[in-house]
């Protein structure tokens, strides 16, 4: 019940394409859903986050779609660029004092 399932494991798109990464969770106590981006040799960096009271959030080229009834959320990257090539992690968290649970990551390659 503590898992966050992320798919696909890897994704290759052409420049300008719209990669979509999906995540699903079981624990209805989760109330914070961030996405992190990680480049080789670096720590994960927060990209965008959403709470379950909204169905969509957009920041620049990154959009989270959230479906509370289906317990699923996804990341869309508009007009993807080679510089977006990285590993993306979804995560979920409940109340204070509980752990941030990460998905297994998606390696994205954007070809020019």
Partner 1 sequence: DTAVSQTPKYLVTQMGNDKSIKCEQNLGHDTMYWYKQDSKKFLKIMFSYNNKELIINETVPNRFSPKSPDKAHLNLHINSLELGDSAVYFCASSQGAGGQPQHFGDGTRLSIL
Work out which of 74, 89, 108, 110 binds partner 1, going by CB under 8 A: 89
CA–CA distance, 36 with 45 (Å, rounded to integer)? 5
How far is CA 28 from each of CA 12, 64, 71, 100, rounded to the nearest angstrom? 32, 18, 8, 14
8 A C-beta contact, residue 19 and residue 11: yes
What residues between 11 and 70 interact with partner 1 by CB under 8 A?
31-32, 34, 36, 38, 41-46, 49, 51
Instruction: Say whether residue 99 binds partner 1 (CB under 8 A).
Output: yes
Q: What's the closest the beta carbon of residue 97 comes to partner 1, in angstroms?
A: 5
Q: Which spans of this chain sit near partner 1 (rule: CB under 8 A)?
A: 31-32, 34, 36, 38, 41-46, 49, 51, 87, 89, 93, 95-102, 104-105
């Amino acid at each position: 019940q503590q898992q966050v399932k992320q798919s696909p494991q890897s994704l290759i798109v052409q420049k300008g394409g719209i990669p979509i990464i999906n995540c699903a969770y079981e624990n209805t106590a989760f109330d914070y859903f961030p996405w992190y981006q990680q480049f080789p040799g670096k720590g994960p960096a927060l990209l965008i986050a959403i709470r379950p009271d909204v169905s969509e959030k957009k920041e620049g080229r990154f959009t989270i779609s959230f479906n509370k009834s289906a317990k699923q959320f996804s990341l869309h990257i508009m007009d993807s660029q080679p510089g977006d090539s990285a590993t993306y992690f979804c995560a979920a968290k409940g109340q204070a004092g509980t752990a941030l649970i990460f998905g297994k990551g998606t390696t994205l390659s954007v070809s020019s």
